[in-house]
Structure 1
Amino acid sequence: MTTASEPRPADAGKLDSAVLKVAAVVVLGSVMAILDTTVVNVALQALTLEFETSFDTIQWIATGYMLALATVIPVTGWACDRFGTKRLYMLAITFFLVGSALAGAAWDIESLIVFRVLQGLGGGMLMPAGMTILTKTAGPHRVGRVMAVLGVPMLLGPIGGPILGGWLVDSVSWRWIFYINVPIGVVAILLAWRLLPKDEPRPAEKFDFAGMVMLSPGLAALIYGVSNIPYHGGVGATNVWLPGIIGIVLIAAFIVRALKVANPLVDLTLFRNRTFSIAMVTMTLFMIAFLGSMLILPTYFVLVRGESALQAGLLLAPQGIGAMITMPIAGKLVDKIGAGKVVLPGIVLIIASVAVFTQVGADTSYLLLMGALFVMGLGMGMSMMPISTAALQTLTQRTVARASTAMNIVQQTAGAVGSAIVSIILASLLAGKFGVATSEGQLAATAALMNPATHDAAAVASADAFASTFTWTLVLVALCLIPALFLPKKPALPPEEDAAEGAPPAVMMH
């Protein structure tokens, strides 16, 4: 067993079969949860017609899932320690599986929303629990490689989801966007039971119930308020500013309390670690920019170029191909040369690709756009998961579960904020082009584009609004460079606690 004083074998960084088996189980669960989110977004229009309801109501299929995620994520770190990551991961898959089966059998819109919340309770635990399992199994010196494996579904989900969702809705039935999770979930549970390492629960710490009452509803309220901004065209609506303020107050109260009590729900002392803090700031800015871009890219193809949801998904495929090329390479490089030397070039590639979209028009060459998307994918593969790796590499085994929880909270919150920011910018620009209220910008553009008499002029105006929105996105991505400059530029050393015990830990299979 390697200790801090012994040289590490030349092949110590390689992922052995035991780690790869664990990675396969975790990736399967992650693919199921992330694909489901993007698949459902494609089906919202079809579900509106199926249940003869308003778009406001149908949005709760997505919003309810997202709020369930925000509610359960803060509890996951404590639950991993208390019950063991393997048990919690299998429970999460079970929740998601049952929720999927019930959602597919939903008889009205109310039942579908309830079952989506049940799915969200499982989905919210899958990513942080899976990240904890992988990090503990691989050890700190191989975190970059295992995070690269975990990053595949996170980057490919937004691309594969629209393709799969478009095909299922058009050719099979909307119910199969949920039923498709059932066989995947059954296989995931069986593999998790068979392949995941046994981990004994740690001695029970007192559960921070007061912290949960503050943080979980606080996050849900904040994300709900922020997600309402695009529809209302600003922050003036009551169901934007009221839940937003309530969420901020509850989160602030949690932070004040967490700094004073023992064993808070989220361990804020993690942020005393300089590398962890820098990585979290970088991730926050990155998620705001990344999810904002991912939101409007397919919208451009559908709205301005008149493509179907399925065609828009296929046009985004070069981004996924680019990410698949660089992600495994980036994972190895992070472990060898440090995250900073990998993330910075990755962000530069993303900036170069977004710069192309700032010049987009109504008839821009698809070859140029797909080339830019490929470069964007190369950059995504070099930046997204290496940032997470930098956050986890310097932490001890005992703090990984809590750190994974904190990271997922940041990702969910920043993602919601980014989507809202970019959506409101686009809606405002479209509204200005068509002389309507901000909340009606996209509807006015759609109506003008569908009218043969106004189509050409509307396409030019709409494309100009998208180009201006991408300019703002470019600024958001460029801001990521500032904290990324301070990411470590040397390979991480094992944390003192883990080095004393020997890393990686022994893996006991079921």
Structure 2
Amino acid sequence: MTSANAADLAARWGPRYRWLLLLSVMVGTMASIMSSTIVNVAIPEMSHAFALGQERAQWVSSGFMVAMTVAMLTTPWLLGRFGYRRLYVATMLLLMAGGIAGGFAANFPVVLAARVAEGLAAGAVQPIPAIIILRAFEPHEQGKASGIFGMGVVLAPAIGPSIGGVLVDLFGWRSIFFMVVPFCLASLWLAFQFVPDTAPGGAAAARGKRLDWLGLALGAAGTLCLLNGLVELHGGGVAAWPLLAAAAGAVVGFLAWQRRQIASDGNPLMDLRLFGDRRFAMGSIVAFIYGTALFGSTYLLPVYMQLGLQLAPSHVGTILLPAGLILAVTMALVGRLSDRLPTHVLVSTGLVILTASFALMATVPMAHPIVPLVAWAILGRIGLGFILPSLNIGSMRTLDKALIPQGSSAINFLRMLGGATGVSLCGIFLEWRIAAHGDLLTNPVTTAARIAAFDESFGLLAALCALAVVAAWRLRSE
């Protein structure tokens, strides 16, 4: 692997270099995001193949997001220790290996291990684009760059479920694991061309600092205990409250240890001084709630369409495709607006639209659901298009440049922690409401009671988005 710093590459490629760099990380991020969402289309068939209950099946999604969430905390240290190019290449190789292993898996534990490997890779790579946008682009270009980057990234989950649904119908659930392979290969070629060892617009971090292993262990333990506790709580297991108590204890221990690391001039996994910036603190709250609603709905929508409305997997992808394309266009337009309009206006507008889209899911009829499903999915994606280009960049613009890697890692961690919680929360809430209405997901016939349970689950997501508007309004400058 040849060494190349950002200055050398910028001199070689000229003014267009920052856009070529953005394209390079965009392809890898597309692969990581595709791997996080496309498997949801195949969960029902995979559950049947391995005779899984709903609680175990949802760990295909939850296990991925737990690994991704925890891995995000390590990104600043990994960038400082190995450099941008080496880290990026390693994550793409791990992501590709996980896809191949999952596709050839003969049992569920191998599938789960492959998903964890993919999650680790996706978590380490996803904070990088925001760092590059804030360091390689001038402030008046950051919104445009974020919008173009977001437009490209959302095309993967927009097109992915559509293609994935067809693949599941034609070749079975295994085929969807292999979809990340061509993206990973392309990203590896681009990495050797355009991704530098050092950070664009900033010096490389000190390599002598050790990873905060205790902080990482506490973060991982807290996340695992939280999600397991939620599942046990729904099932009425005796281990629920001890697990939730352990999660709370891990959070307290994590925060105390991070404060001690800061006081002793150590290397904290999450620099708590970030939250002294009001805009970053409010952005983090929005990111957590938004992640809960977004990833919860990503899990809930395919299950609703297949087990609630009895649609085929290929129909699920086709219904979501127009919404994904609208999202890409919206992000490109809003990205340009975010260089001129306040962050709190754009994010609050997006959350209000997203709230409406979830609430309107209750109006979808069982007899002819396609048109309203497409309409409300498009409305929701328009809301996301207002939020995605604005939230991270707007929350971190006032941070010191030295804190940008930590800020990107922390806000992505909180968003994914919300996402991992959201997937479990939606699965738990859905089964609770179905049982309360006297139905079962294993019942092959859809009933009005089952649809009512889904409507209530979408209502929960609407309430969460409405709550996030309060914090989003606090993103305004004072």
TM range (shorter): 0.7 to 0.9
Note the alpha carbon deviations across 1:164-202, whole angstroms, 9 max, x for none.
222222223544323332232122111011112341632
Q: How does 1:408-447 map to 2 (within 5 A)?
A: 408-434=412-438, 441-443=440-442, 446-447=443-444
Q: Does 1:272 align with 2:311?
A: no
Separation (CA, whole Å) in 2 of partners of 1:92 and 1:310: 30
User: Which residue of 2 is the match for residue 320 of structure 1?
Assistant: 324
SS at match of 2:297: helix
- Aligned partner of 2:326: which letter? G
Of 236-245 and 328-337, the range deviating more from structure 2: 236-245
CA positional deviation for 1:158: 4.8
User: Which residue of 1 is the match for residue 143 of structure 2?
Assistant: 144
CA positional deviation for 1:284: 1.7
Is this contact kept in 2: 1:77–1:266, CA < 8 A? no
Percent same amino acid among aligned pairs? 26
- Aligned partner of 1:104: which letter? G
- Aligned partner of 1:428: which letter? W
Alpha carbons of structure 1 residues 207 and 472: separation in structure 2 relative to 1, 3 Å: closer
Alpha carbons of structure 1 residues 55 and 370: separation in structure 2 relative to 1, 3 Å: closer
CA positional deviation for 1:264: 0.8
Separation (CA, whole Å) in 2 of partners of 1:248 and 1:178: 35
SS at match of 1:205: coil
Alpha carbons of structure 1 residues 354 and 170: separation in structure 2 relative to 1, 3 Å: closer
Is this contact kept in 1: 2:292–2:421, CA < 8 A? yes
User: Which residue of 2 is the match for residue 26 of structure 1?
Assistant: 25
- Aligned partner of 2:255: which letter? I
Separation (CA, whole Å) in 1 of partners of 2:357 and 2:428: 22
Alpha carbons of structure 1 residues 95 and 380: separation in structure 2 relative to 1, 3 Å: same
Is this contact kept in 2: 1:322–1:376, CA < 8 A? no
SS at match of 1:480: helix
Is this contact kept in 2: 1:342–1:386, CA < 8 A? yes
Separation (CA, whole Å) in 2 of partners of 1:49 and 1:23: 41
CA positional deviation for 1:127: 0.6
Q: Structure 2: which 5+ runs fail to align?
A: 1-13
User: Which residue of 1 is the match for residue 205 of structure 2?
Assistant: 202
Candidates 453, 461, 471, aligned match of 1:473 = 461
Alpha carbons of structure 1 residues 286 and 130: separation in structure 2 relative to 1, 3 Å: same
Q: Does 1:392 align with 2:396?
A: yes
Q: Does 1:67 align with 2:66?
A: yes
Alpha carbons of structure 1 residues 268 and 142: separation in structure 2 relative to 1, 3 Å: farther
Is this contact kept in 2: 1:81–1:401, CA < 8 A? no
User: Which of structures 1 and 2 has the bigger CA Rg?
Assistant: 1
User: Which residue of 2 is the match for residue 36 of structure 1?
Assistant: 35
Note the alpha carbon deviations across 1:304-348, whole angstroms, 9 max, x for none.
322112202211223213312221121111122221222222223
Is this contact kept in 1: 2:70–2:413, CA < 8 A? no
Q: Matched residue pairs, number? A: 456
SS at match of 1:442: coil
SS at match of 2:409: helix
Separation (CA, whole Å) in 1 of partners of 2:101 and 2:177: 8
Is this contact kept in 2: 1:92–1:122, CA < 8 A? yes
Alpha carbons of structure 1 residues 218 and 425: separation in structure 2 relative to 1, 3 Å: closer
Q: How does 1:28-427 map to 2 (within 5 A)?
A: 28-50=27-49, 59-152=58-151, 155-156=154-155, 158-199=157-198, 201-203=204-206, 204-226=208-230, 228=231, 233=234, 236-238=236-238, 240-261=240-261, 262=265, 263-363=267-367, 366-427=370-431
Separation (CA, whole Å) in 1 of partners of 2:23 and 2:312: 33
Q: TM-score, normalised by structure 2?
A: 0.86
Separation (CA, whole Å) in 2 of partners of 1:302 and 1:60: 18
Report the RMSD for the aligned CA atoms in angstroms. 2.7
User: Which residue of 2 is the match for residue 501 of structure 1?
Assistant: none
Separation (CA, whole Å) in 2 of partners of 1:185 and 1:107: 23
Q: TM-score, normalised by structure 1?
A: 0.81
SS at match of 1:363: coil
Is this contact kept in 2: 1:147–1:385, CA < 8 A? yes
Is this contact kept in 2: 1:223–1:417, CA < 8 A? yes
Of 59-68 and 407-416, the range deviating more from structure 2: 59-68
- Aligned partner of 1:246: which letter? A
